[in-house]
């Protein structure tokens, strides 16, 4: 009996060891599953608490003096900050981990009934045929710098812990749907990078540096964040630091991402590493207070885990999740369900992206090689900054096709304009590619059909003249498509596009 028991134990240990080794074959860093789960749970709990704290003061530009909930709630406030992240989790579960902005756009249209600010503009553009990232940029000058994207960054951080370049890439795909190439996109890249790195790095100043490395140095988000840091370094109090941030963000103003992301940073800088003081400091700065409090709560939860959130803060919000901005599916009922779903998807995301981080159930967290993670990746960051809000990119495997509006997708009746189709041959063989344009009666394209030979590892730019008939109605939207076919195997993609007919001056 003892031999059998010993043999069974050895077999079990071998299986566990083998599984742990397999999970971390390509990993530089390993995260203990129980510890990781605690941080994810604390992230979502902190999100709920901070959002509920700030909700009664949303939009107020005055300074608050909160030290606790006012009024004390009996349940968490419904908050789109969390709603949309549960929707992205659903999209990943249904469509796989390699989703992009176009897939997320489909989920916007199907499951988000609200039309607030950039949400409504992005959805209206997609319904008119303007796909992401055009959907977030065109006709959206008022809101593309706003707060709707960075408030939903935690999902990408939790799914790519210790991999800020991956988190920032997914954050871009998310944010561009309703923010194009505005400051709202940079804001989500910043928060996603900070939160992702926070799973393996706890030093606040280092984390802020990592976040700043993922946004252009001269963008408004970077300017405002640096203003917050500089004010703290000079020894200014919170009120004076807030004024410095307001002054630094005058170009974008109130209820916009640069100012509010910097208010989160102020909460962090002046919160003395205390959960309650940090979220109160962020909310006390005013403006989009449910968002600033919620993101500050998430960051604290990721860094410190559940131990940083006392029963006093937990008790009023409890375990439940209240929704306001999603419908048509059953989201996780409580924070534990959301945490378990996030954990399961994080394992898959890390594996599918061949990440240098692994989550293992029966091994301790090992950060001894953390320095090798490349938490700052300038090449990856600059590639994201270089993306145009007017380009639609489709990958056929052997060929990458990019439709480039070049500027706003508008055309006037009786006039013409140029569009470009970039074809890249990703193989080592010369390739023939057929191009065919399908347009409504009001539009014509010259040439309407082409056959192009592209050398191996080469590219071809096809510039076409698009003309709009004189009787096209101003204000109408004309939808068409361009088909790209690899003649050797018949593989094809149809790229839809749209043009708004502008009034003739």
Residue 303 belongs to domain with CATH number = 1.10.4080.10
- Asked, for residue 195, whether it belongs to a domain, the answer is yes
Q: Residue 447 is part of a domain; what is its CATH number? A: 2.60.40.10
6 within domain boundaries: no
Statement to judge: residues 80 and 195 lie in one domain: yes
84 and 106 part of one domain: yes
Q: Does residue 91 fall inside a structural domain?
A: yes
Q: Percentage of residues in the chain with pLDDT exceeding 90? A: 93
420 shares a domain with 296? no
Task: Assess contact for 126 and 132: CB atoms under 8 A.
Answer: yes
Which residue intervals of 145-237 are DSSP H helices?
Answer: 154-159, 164-179, 183-197, 204-213, 220-233
**Which ranges of the chain have pLDDT less than 70?**
1-25, 505
In a domain, 483, yes or no: yes
Q: Report the C-alpha gap between 39 and 305 in whole angstroms.
A: 4
| 55 and 119 inside one domain | yes
Q: How many domains does the chain have?
A: 2
- For residue 49, give the nearest of 276, 244, 218, 272 by alpha carbon: 276
In whole angstroms, give the CA distance from residue 48 to residue 279: 11
| Residues 35 and 300 sit within 8 Å (Cβ to Cβ) | no
CB atoms within 10 A of CB 424: 16
Predicted local confidence at residue 25, as pLDDT:
61
Q: Is 316 helix (H, G, I), strand (E, B) or coil?
A: coil
Same domain, 346 and 395: no
Enclosing domain of residue 36: 27-353+360-385
* Domain shared by 375 and 470, yes or no: no
* 278, containing H or E segment: helix 275-284
Answer for the pair 95, 312: CB distance below 8 angstroms, yes or no. Answer: no
Alpha helices in 24-129 (DSSP H): 33-54, 80-95, 101-111, 117-127
Tell me, yes or no, whether 492 and 369 share the same domain.
Answer: no
Verify that 308 and 454 share a domain, yes or no. no
The reply to whether 1 falls in a domain is no
Which pLDDT does position 6 carry in this prediction?
44
223 CB neighbour count, 10 Å cutoff: 19
Final residue of a structural domain among 385, 402, 427? 385
Confirm whether 20 is domain-assigned. no
Shared domain for 334 and 469, answered yes or no, is no
- pLDDT score recorded for residue 3: 41
**272 vs 497: CA distance, rounded Å:** 51
Q: For 407-452, write each residue's pLDDT tens digit.
A: 999 999 999 999 999 999 999 999 999 999 999 999 999 999 999 9
Q: What is the pLDDT of residue 26?
A: 80
Q: What tokens appear for 349 in the block?
A: 């995301």
Residue 343: inside a domain, yes or no?
Answer: yes
Both 180 and 273 in one domain: the answer is: yes
List C-alpha distances in Å: 483 to 212, 439, 447, 448, 490: 40, 11, 13, 11, 11
Per the structure block, which two tokens stand in for 72? 């004390």
**Residue 9 located in a structural domain:** no
**Are residues 81 and 219 part of one domain?**
yes
- Same domain, residue pair 349 and 432: no
Reported pTM: 0.95
pLDDT in tens, 193-246: 999 999 999 999 999 999 999 999 999 999 999 999 999 999 999 999 999 999
């Amino acid at each position: 009996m003892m031999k059998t028991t010993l043999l069974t134990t050895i077999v079990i240990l071998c299986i566990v060891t083998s599984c742990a080794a397999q999970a971390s074959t390509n990993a530089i860093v390993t995260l203990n599953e129980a510890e990781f789960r605690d941080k994810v749970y604390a992230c979502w709990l902190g999100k709920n608490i901070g959002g509920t704290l700030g909700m009664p003061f949303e939009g107020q530009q005055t300074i608050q003096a909160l030290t606790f909930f006012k009024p004390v709630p009996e349940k968490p406030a419904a908050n789109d900050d969390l709603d949309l992240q549960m929707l992205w989790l659903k999209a990943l579960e249904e469509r796989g981990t390699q989703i992009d902005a176009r897939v997320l756009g489909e989920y916007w249209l199907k499951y988000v009934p609200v039309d607030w600010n950039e949400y409504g503009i992005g959805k209206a553009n997609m319904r008119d045929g303007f796909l992401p990232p055009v959907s977030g940029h065109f006709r959206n000058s008022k809101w593309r710098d706003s707060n709707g994207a960075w408030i939903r960054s935690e999902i990408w951080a939790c799914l790519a812990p210790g991999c800020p370049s991956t988190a920032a890439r997914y954050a871009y795909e998310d944010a561009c749907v309703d923010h194009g190439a505005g400051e709202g996109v940079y804001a989500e890249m910043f928060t996603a990078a900070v939160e992702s790195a926070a799973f393996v790095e706890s030093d606040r100043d280092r984390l802020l540096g990592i976040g700043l490395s993922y946004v252009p140095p001269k963008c408004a988000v970077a300017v405002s964040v640096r203003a917050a840091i500089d004010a703290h370094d000079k020894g200014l109090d919170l009120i004076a630091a807030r004024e410095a941030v307001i002054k630094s963000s005058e170009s974008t103003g109130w209820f916009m991402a640069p100012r509010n992301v910097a208010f989160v940073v102020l909460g962090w800088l002046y919160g003395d590493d205390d959960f309650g003081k940090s979220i109160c400091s962020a909310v006390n700065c005013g403006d989009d207070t449910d968002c600033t409090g919620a993101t500050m709560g998430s960051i604290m939860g990721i860094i410190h885990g559940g131990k940083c959130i006392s029963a006093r803060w937990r008790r009023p919000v409890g375990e439940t999740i209240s929704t306001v901005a999603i419908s048509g599916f059953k989201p996780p009922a409580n924070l534990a369900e959301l945490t378990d779903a996030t954990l399961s998807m994080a394992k898959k995301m890390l594996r599918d992206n061949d990440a240098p981080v692994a989550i293992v159930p029966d091994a301790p967290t090992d950060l001894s090689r953390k320095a090798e993670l490349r938490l700052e990746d300038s090449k990856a960051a600059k590639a994201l900054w270089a993306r145009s809000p007017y380009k639609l990119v489709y990958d056929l495997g052997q060929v990458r096709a990019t439709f480039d509006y070049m500027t706003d997708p508008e055309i006037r009746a009786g006039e013409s304009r140029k569009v470009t189709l970039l074809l890249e041959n990703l193989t080592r063989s010369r390739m023939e590619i057929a191009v065919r344009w399908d347009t409504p009666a009001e539009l014509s394209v010259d040439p309407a059909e082409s056959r192009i030979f592209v050398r191996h590892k080469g590219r071809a730019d096809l510039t076409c003249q698009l003309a709009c008939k004189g009787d096209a109605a101003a204000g109408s939207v004309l939808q068409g498509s361009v088909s790209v076919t690899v003649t050797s195997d018949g593989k094809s993609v149809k790229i839809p596009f749209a043009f708004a007919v502008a009034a003739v001056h």
